[in-house]
Amino acid sequence: MFDIKLMRENLEMVKANALRRGCDVDVDALAAMDKEYLGLIKEVEDLRAERNRLSKECQKNPEAREIVKTMKVTLGEKETRMTELKAKIDEQMSWMPNLLSDEVPDGADDKDNAVIKHVGKKPEFAFKGLDHQEIGEKLGIIDTARGAKVAASGFYYWVGKGAQLTQAMYFWAQKELVARGFTLFMSPCLAKERTLYGTGYLPFFSDQTYLIQGEDLALIGTSEQTLVGYHTDETLEAESLPLRYTAYTPCFRTEAGSYGKESRGIFRVHQFHKVEQIIFCLPEDSPACHEECLVNEEYLLQQLGIPYRVVNVCVGDMGAPGYKKYDIEAWYPGFGSYREVTSNTNLTEFQSRRLNIRYKDKEGNRGFVHTISATGLTDRVVCAILENYQQEDGSVVVPEVLRPYTGFDVIAPN
């Protein structure tokens, strides 16, 4: 969400941005409503001022009472119209995408993302590499069949050493992020509508959300929702910024409409797990904080020994809340392709305006903070470990950095 004043002062720019981002809000109609709304504010406020003035006279001048009574009818009508108009404007504004960085490439989908760099050496196998699903099944560490039996298709178990490896990775990642100045949270895994709306998941991704029947609660799609929502309606001291937060939570997504897409393995599932990076910062610092999160993501993958590439996400592949976004795609030798494992978005003031998260500095300057939302690691990275560290005998070697946390060096077939 951007300041509506921007639209008043720079209509063509806002229109062009909406067009480029495929937003179907009628910006001209919105601007017209806003114009009418501004006029109504003036009328209503003038009427209120007059009413307030007359009300003060009522005790000594009974006639004023009658005047105000008739005024109230007109005022009431105008107030109703104003409220309705405001609701319509807010509804339309909630669908308006964020502005875009100049550095965002054009393009329609992920094939148009601009590859920035390749890092790490792809493993070379003297045998036919398997994908993580096959590896996981053979080692008995991924169980999708029972996930479907107990919950539903799209759920799975990490079992035995697979679960140990996964937990080791998350524990290690949290420790690394804490060492980089992040505060660790254990977060609620449900959130209310306002929180999902405020973080931009509503109204844009409403069909991805699991709602709790009869309650104003939904399962979180990411801890971004609860970590950013943490400061809802707060004014942060500028000198306390940037605030760096991390949490490890499950993430729930209905994946409605994506059946058959990446259905192999546990790539697209209804529940996965994630260590998140969130930064609240001053507007001028957000580009640097965005880069900082990328550095952290890369560091984690490098330490794990996963080859990857970084892409600058194109306009067509970026969600409406984003201003600029980097994805990291890990190399999956079993699949024989790069696949998205992390994403890192500078949301500028899109979320902070919706959630009313502001900053105030010593000079009394105020504004909305910027937020950065980035992945740390997810279950997909464990899949990448399985595929990149597989051996000819079917075993999987544990990355060096995780061994202190797993207590074993290799996962071997029984």
Partner RNA sequence: GGAGAGAUGGCUGAGCGGUCUAAGGCAGCGGUCUUGAAAACCGCCGUAGGUUCCACCUACCGUGGGUUCGAAUCCCACUCUCUCCGCCA
Residues sharing a CB contact under 8 Å with residue 136, sequence separation 6 or more, in sequence order: 142, 162, 265, 266, 386
For the CB of residue 137, give the shortest distance to RNA in the complex, in Å.
Answer: 32
Both structure tokens of 32 = 């017209």
* Among 176, 276, 297, 340, the one annotated catalytic: 340
* Residues 243 and 236: beta-carbon distance below 8 Å: yes
Q: How far is CA 258 from the centre of its chain?
A: 19
Question: Which residue, 238, 249, 217, is CA-closest to 368?
Answer: 238
* Among 253, 286, 298, 352, the one annotated catalytic: 253
Instruction: For residue 358, give Cα distances in angstroms to 7, 62, 79, 142, 396.
Output: 21, 47, 29, 44, 48
For the CB of residue 185, give the shortest distance to RNA in the complex, in Å.
Answer: 17
**Beta carbon nearer to RNA, 103 or 216:** 216
Q: Which of positions 1-40 make contact with RNA (CB under 7 A)?
A: 5, 38
- Give yes or no: 353 in active site: no
Phi, psi dihedrals of residue 39, rounded to the nearest 5°: -65, -40
Q: Which of positions 355-394 make contact with RNA (CB under 7 A)?
A: 358, 364, 366
- Give yes or no: 340 in active site: yes
**Beta carbon nearer to RNA, 260 or 364:** 364
Question: Which residue, 128, 121, 130, 120, is CA-closest to 386?
Answer: 130
For the CB of residue 24, give the shortest distance to RNA in the complex, in Å.
Answer: 26
* Residues 342 and 298: beta-carbon distance below 8 Å: no
**CA–CA distance, 356 with 17 (Å, rounded to integer):** 23
- Site size toward RNA (CB under 7 A) is 26
**Beta carbon nearer to RNA, 4 or 310:** 4
* Residues 229 and 236: beta-carbon distance below 8 Å: no
For the CB of residue 53, give the shortest distance to RNA in the complex, in Å.
Answer: 7
Packing angle between helix 286-304 and helix 379-388, nearest 10 degrees?
40
**Beta carbon nearer to RNA, 35 or 146:** 35
For the CB of residue 47, give the shortest distance to RNA in the complex, in Å.
Answer: 9
Instruction: For residue 341, give Cα distances in angstroms to 23, 327, 331, 344, 366.
Output: 27, 7, 10, 10, 36
Q: Which of positions 145-184 make contact with RNA (CB under 7 A)?
A: none
For the CB of residue 6, give the shortest distance to RNA in the complex, in Å.
Answer: 11
Both structure tokens of 280 = 């609240």
**Beta carbon nearer to RNA, 51 or 138:** 51
Q: Which of positions 45-74 make contact with RNA (CB under 7 A)?
A: 45-46, 48-49, 51-56, 58-59, 64-65, 68-69, 72
**276 strand-pairing partners:** 247, 375
**143 strand-pairing partners:** 157
- Give yes or no: 354 in active site: no
* Residues 217 and 191: beta-carbon distance below 8 Å: yes
**Beta carbon nearer to RNA, 68 or 382:** 68
Question: Which residue, 321, 319, 315, is CA-closest to 353?
Answer: 321
* Among 187, 223, 286, 343, the one annotated catalytic: 343
For the CB of residue 261, give the shortest distance to RNA in the complex, in Å.
Answer: 37
Q: Which of positions 302-361 make contact with RNA (CB under 7 A)?
A: 358
Question: Which residue, 172, 218, 164, is CA-closest to 195?
Answer: 218
**CA–CA distance, 410 with 414 (Å, rounded to integer):** 12
**CA–CA distance, 308 with 305 (Å, rounded to integer):** 9
**Beta carbon nearer to RNA, 29 or 38:** 38
* Among 21, 244, 354, 380, the one annotated catalytic: 380
- Give yes or no: 268 in active site: yes
Q: Which of positions 227-256 make contact with RNA (CB under 7 A)?
A: none
Using CB under 7 A, which of 42, 111, 117, 121 touches RNA? 42
**Beta carbon nearer to RNA, 60 or 117:** 60
For the CB of residue 34, give the shortest distance to RNA in the complex, in Å.
Answer: 9
**220 strand-pairing partners:** none
Binding track over 75-114 against RNA, x by CB under 7 A:
--------x-------------------------------
Q: Which residues are catalytic?
A: 253, 268, 340, 343, 380
Footprint of RNA on this chain (CB under 7 A)?
5, 38, 41-42, 44-46, 48-49, 51-56, 58-59, 64-65, 68-69, 72, 83, 358, 364, 366
